[in-house]
């Protein structure tokens, strides 16, 4: 696993470091103010079936993110 | 009076601190968005209250750029504050500091309550709070809101002057926060606790869905068990003690006449029947106290337990997918769930949703398909006579209607559907004294607000009957009620009273000796056609007159359609 992938492409248990957050200013701001920022290490806890939300762990917090928003988060290797 | 604003991220314990400061009774839960409207209370600094502050519990925000209505309320409040108590989650310092810096830029005197301080230890987080105060330039007090630790020091250190800092860009703020965190916080590795593992299992679809089924089945089973137990062993014996007094009054009034009709009601075979007599001091007291309250008590206990444990956000994640089919997202489970207790707080809780469209759909669905606890208790009484199948059909019909109607509303009213973006708090062992206080507040609200409404409802029923108005409207409406819904004309009285109180309305059906299918249809129609007056007023305020009109038309249409369909099928 090398290079950059979207958060939606991660499987449960996988870990990645946030490389970039894309999308409009508002969305980027919301994502960052929840504590998901460039350089942070995310662990995917679960993916709900049928394109449901993804639950990640960041800094010991669990956050549920819809798929559309998760696509805006680009992760690289840790 | 000077105003203190309690501000901070969602679910950091602002309401617990508010309750400590003011002694005001407020709801404290373990999910983001418990407080959707600001609450005010007064804090006295001395015995005779000469030095006092008005304390305002503001809904939680992650930043000063609001994304939901509850958050807008919070940001608007800022202009009025003289002092800010910034409540910070000590286990999530980094993210919380973003709002802290934004608030400091407003140059309002501010102090930090470093809350959930007790949780830092088992989370392996160590914070040098003195260093933090030094770096920020404002006072920092470690607190534990639910137990009261640190609250005295917080109050005695309220600042008078603001610290001037220059406004920063987003980028600069995060750089500054990074620097502060490096100098003040040490995180050591800790082993996952049982609660954390359970937390992850209950949000994983494979284990979480069976877990949810068990939790819900257990909860409803227990509510029924405890409710029936309370009726048999506590409330019915209580009314047996009361019965001789009622007979005495009945004798005194001569067993008939206007006053007797209103107070005692009709004697059934020469005897007082608490369910059927329909008098103020017979049925009027028996329905709310001996039929509804026994279910309200266990219901609110379990609802509060689920709220405080942190289970609701996990349920929100599991159900997110289904909610999207209705134009909502998972967090809409919160208003729907609260609506099972009482539709009024349910309607208010729709404020956790981001768009007007979501709030419209969620409120409408709740008003139509979510019966409140009082109504459910009476449905148990009415339909339960025919066993569990009838009750099952009623609730299944409401559930299926919710999905279909939600799908239709999503299609008819187009618009964007925001996605779920929700912090899932850790499971917490409820703080029992706080939990019991909350249950008591809810039961008390039922006794104070609902019981008089029930009595008023029964009074209105009697007056309308005596004046012949119910018979008049009955004749007018009978094509619909008997024709479409297949109910006896006598059920019209219940439908009229249903505008006022649903539990009384269902109670009015009891003496009619309806068949099982009639009971089911009547229960479903009563649940759907209109909210009770209290919910109506709140909905009107939240939705505005135009949307309320739309919502009302949808209610009436749904009730007639589903009721008519049941009439054909059953």
Interchain CB contact of A8 with B (< 8 Å): no
The CATH number assigned to the domain holding A53 equals: 2.30.30.90
- What are the residue boundaries of the structural domains of chain B, listed by start? 2-187, 205-416+424-569
* Contact residues on chain B for A52, CB-CB shorter than 8 A: 205, 317, 320-321
Tens of pLDDT, residue by residue over B428-444, are: 888 888 889 889 989 99
Q: In this structure, what DSSP letter does residue B291 have?
A: I
* Contact residues on chain A for B313, CB-CB shorter than 8 A: 64
Tens of pLDDT, residue by residue over B245-287, are: 999 999 999 888 899 999 999 898 889 999 889 999 999 999 9
Contact A66 B420 (CB under 8 A): yes
- Cα B561 to Cα B334: distance, rounded to the nearest angstrom: 27
Tens of pLDDT, residue by residue over B82-123, are: 999 999 999 999 999 999 999 999 999 999 999 999 999 888
B116 Rama class: left (phi>0) / alpha (psi -120 to 50) / beta: left
Q: Taking CA B119 as the corner, what is the angle to CA A41 and CA B192, rounded to the nearest 5 degrees? A: 55
Interchain CB contact of B181 with A (< 8 Å): no
pLDDT of residue B25: 67
A to B CB pairs, distance under 8 Å? 101
Chain B residue with minimum CA distance to A59: B92
pLDDT-derived band at B326 (thresholds 50, 70, 90) equals: very high
SS (H, E, C) B13-51: CHHHHHHHHHCCCCCCCCCCCCCCCCEEEEEECCCCCCC
Nearest to A35 among B95, B330, B422 (CB): B95
Under 8 Å CB-to-CB from B384, ≥6 apart: which residues? B390, B391
* Contact residues on chain A for B320, CB-CB shorter than 8 A: 48, 52-53, 64, 66
- Cα B23 to Cα A29: distance, rounded to the nearest angstrom: 37
Chain A residue with minimum CA distance to B67: A30
pLDDT-derived band at B32 (thresholds 50, 70, 90) equals: confident
pLDDT: is B429 or B210 the higher one?
B210
CA distance B358 to chain A (A): 16
CA distance A11 to chain B (A): 13
Q: Which of B95, B173, B416, B427 to mutate to test the interface with A (most CBs of A within 10 A)?
A: B95
Q: What is the mean pLDDT of residues A4-31?
A: 93
Q: What is the mean pLDDT of residues B532-553?
A: 95
Tokens 């394109």 -> residue = A51
Contact A48 B98 (CB under 8 A): no
Under 8 Å CB-to-CB from B207, ≥6 apart: which residues? B201
Chain B residue with minimum CA distance to A63: B423
Contact A64 B317 (CB under 8 A): yes
pLDDT of residue B175: 92
Contact A46 B200 (CB under 8 A): yes
Tokens 């089924």 -> residue = B213
* Contact residues on chain A for B91, CB-CB shorter than 8 A: 60
DSSP H or E stretch at residue B405: helix B388-412
Q: What is the mean pLDDT of residues B296-323?
A: 94
Chain B residue with minimum CA distance to A26: B65
Sign of CA dihedral A49, A28, B91, B162: negative
Contact B419 A68 (CB under 8 A): yes
Which domain does A67 fall in, by range? 4-76
pLDDT: is B28 or B448 the higher one?
B448
CA distance A7 to chain B (A): 14
Nearest to A33 among B63, B318, B320 (CB): B63
Q: What is the mean pLDDT of residues B320-334?
A: 95
A56 has which bridge partners?
A44, A63
Interchain CB contact of B126 with A (< 8 Å): no
Chain A residue with minimum CA distance to B170: A29
pLDDT-derived band at B369 (thresholds 50, 70, 90) equals: very high
Contact B203 A66 (CB under 8 A): no
Question: B202: which 2 tokens?
Answer: 């209950």
pLDDT of residue B73: 81
Nearest to B204 among A29, A33, A46 (CB): A46
Q: Is the pLDDT of residue B28 over 80?
A: no
Interchain CB contact of B53 with A (< 8 Å): no
- Cα B174 to Cα A32: distance, rounded to the nearest angstrom: 9
pLDDT: is B232 or B80 the higher one?
B232
Mean pLDDT of chain B: 92
* Contact residues on chain A for B187, CB-CB shorter than 8 A: 60
Task: Please name the residue ranges forming H helices in B253-332.
Answer: 258-263, 283-286, 293-309, 311-318, 320-324
Contact B203 A33 (CB under 8 A): no
pLDDT-derived band at B49 (thresholds 50, 70, 90) equals: confident
Overall number of domains in chain A? 1
Contact A48 B318 (CB under 8 A): yes
Contact B419 A63 (CB under 8 A): no
Contact B205 A49 (CB under 8 A): yes
Q: What angle do the packed helices B373-383 and B388-412 form, to 10 degrees?
A: 140
Chain A residue with minimum CA distance to B419: A66
Q: Is the pLDDT of residue B66 over 80?
A: no
* Contact residues on chain A for B65, CB-CB shorter than 8 A: 26, 29, 33
Q: Which CATH number fits domain B2-187: 2.40.110.10, 3.40.50.300, 3.40.50.720, 1.10.260.40?
A: 3.40.50.300
Residue closest to B27 by CA, chosen among B11, B47, B5: B11
For residue B534, give Cα distances in angstroms to B70, B121, B260, B364.
Answer: 21, 45, 29, 15
CB-CB contact of B156 with B23 (8 Å) = no
Burial of B269 (0-12, 13-18, 19+ CB in 10 A): exposed
Tens of pLDDT, residue by residue over B508-524, are: 999 999 999 999 999 99
pLDDT of residue B505: 94
Tens of pLDDT, residue by residue over B171-183, are: 899 999 999 999 9
Question: B110: which 2 tokens?
Answer: 């501010």
Q: Are strands B110-115 and B83-89 parallel, antiparallel or unpaired?
A: parallel
Contact B200 A45 (CB under 8 A): yes
Chain A residue with minimum CA distance to B61: A33
Q: Is the pLDDT of residue A1 over 70?
A: no
Nearest to B205 among A35, A48, A61 (CB): A48
State the pTM of this model: 0.90
Interchain CB contact of B389 with A (< 8 Å): no
pLDDT of residue B31: 72
Interchain CB contact of B102 with A (< 8 Å): no
Interchain CB contact of A41 with B (< 8 Å): no
Nearest to A64 among B92, B422, B426 (CB): B422
Tens of pLDDT, residue by residue over A20-70, are: 999 998 889 889 989 999 999 999 999 999 889 999 999 889 999 999 999
> Residues of A numbered 43-72 whose beta carbons fall under 8 angstroms of chain B's beta carbons: which are they?
45-46, 48-53, 55, 59-69
């Amino acid at each position: 696993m090398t290079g950059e992938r979207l958060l939606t492409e991660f499987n449960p248990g996988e870990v990645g470091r946030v490389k970039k957050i894309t999308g409009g200013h508002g969305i980027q701001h919301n994502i960052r103010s929840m504590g998901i920022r460039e350089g942070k290490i995310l662990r995917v806890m679960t993916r709900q079936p049928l394109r449901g939300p993804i639950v990640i762990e960041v800094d010991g917090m669990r956050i549920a993110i819809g798929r559309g928003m998760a696509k805006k988060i680009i992760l690289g290797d840790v | 009076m000077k105003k203190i604003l309690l501000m901070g991220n969602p679910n950091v314990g602002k309401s617990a601190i508010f309750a400590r400061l003011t002694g005001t009774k407020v709801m404290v839960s373990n999910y983001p968005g418990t407080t959707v409207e600001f609450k005010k209370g007064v804090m006295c600094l001395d015995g005779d209250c000469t030095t006092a502050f008005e304390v305002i519990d503001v809904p939680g925000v992650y930043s000063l750029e609001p994304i939901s209505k509850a958050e807008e309320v919070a940001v608007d409040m800022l202009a009025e504050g003289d002092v800010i108590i910034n409540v910070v989650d000590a286990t999530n310092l980094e993210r919380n500091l973003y709002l802290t810096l934004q608030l400091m830029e407003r140059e309002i005197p501010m102090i930090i309550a470093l809350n959930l301080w007790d949780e830092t230890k088992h989370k392996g987080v160590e914070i040098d709070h003195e260093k933090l105060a030094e770096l920020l330039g404002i006072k920092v007090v470690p607190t534990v809101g639910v137990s009261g630790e640190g609250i005295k020091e917080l109050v005695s250190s309220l600042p008078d002057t603001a610290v001037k800092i220059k406004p920063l860009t987003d980028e600069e703020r995060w750089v500054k926060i990074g620097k502060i965190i490096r100098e003040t916080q040490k995180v050591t590795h800790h082993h996952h606790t049982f609660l954390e593992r359970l937390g992850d299992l209950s949000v994983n679809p494979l284990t979480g869905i069976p877990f949810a089924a068990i939790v819900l089945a257990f909860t409803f089973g227990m509510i029924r068990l405890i409710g029936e137990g309370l009726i048999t062993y506590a409330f019915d014996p209580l009314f047996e003690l009361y019965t001789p007094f009622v007979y005495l009054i009945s004798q005194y009034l001569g067993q008939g006449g206007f006053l007797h009709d209103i107070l005692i009601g009709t004697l059934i075979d020469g005897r007082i029947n608490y369910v059927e007599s329909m008098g103020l001091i017979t049925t009027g007291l028996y329905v709310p106290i001996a039929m509804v309250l026994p279910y309200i008590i266990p219901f609110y206990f379990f609802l509060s337990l689920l709220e405080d444990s942190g289970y609701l956000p996990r349920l929100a994640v599991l159900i997110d997918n289904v909610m999207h089919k209705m134009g909502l997202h998972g967090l809409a489970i919160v208003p729907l769930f609260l609506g099972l207790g009482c539709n009024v707080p349910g309607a208010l809780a729709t404020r956790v949703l981001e768009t007007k469209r979501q709030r419209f759909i969620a409120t409408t669905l709740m008003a139509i398909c979510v019966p409140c606890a009082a109504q459910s208790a009476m449905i148990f009484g009415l339909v339960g006579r025919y066993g569990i199948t009838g009750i099952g059909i009623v609730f299944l019909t409401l559930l299926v209607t919710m999905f279909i109607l939600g799908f239709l509303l999503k299609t008819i009213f187009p618009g964007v559907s925001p996605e779920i973006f929700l912090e899932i708090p850790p499971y917490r062992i409820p703080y029992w004294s706080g939990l019991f206080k909350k249950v008591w507040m809810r039961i008390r609200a039922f006794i104070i607000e609902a019981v008089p409404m029930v009595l008023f409802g029964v009074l209105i029923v009697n007056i309308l009957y005596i004046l012949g108005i119910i018979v008049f409207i009955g004749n007018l409406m009978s094509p619909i009620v008997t024709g479409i819904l297949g109910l006896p004309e006598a059920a019209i009285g219940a439908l009229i009273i249903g505008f006022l109180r649903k539990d009384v309305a269902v109670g009015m059906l009891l003496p009619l000796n309806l068949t099982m299918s009639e009971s089911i249809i009547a229960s479903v129609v009563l649940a759907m056609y209109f909210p009770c007056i209290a919910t109506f007023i709140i909905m009107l305020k939240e939705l505005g007159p135009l949307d309320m009109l739309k919502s009302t038309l949808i209610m009436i249409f749904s009730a007639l359609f589903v009721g008519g369909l049941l009439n054909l099928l059953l």
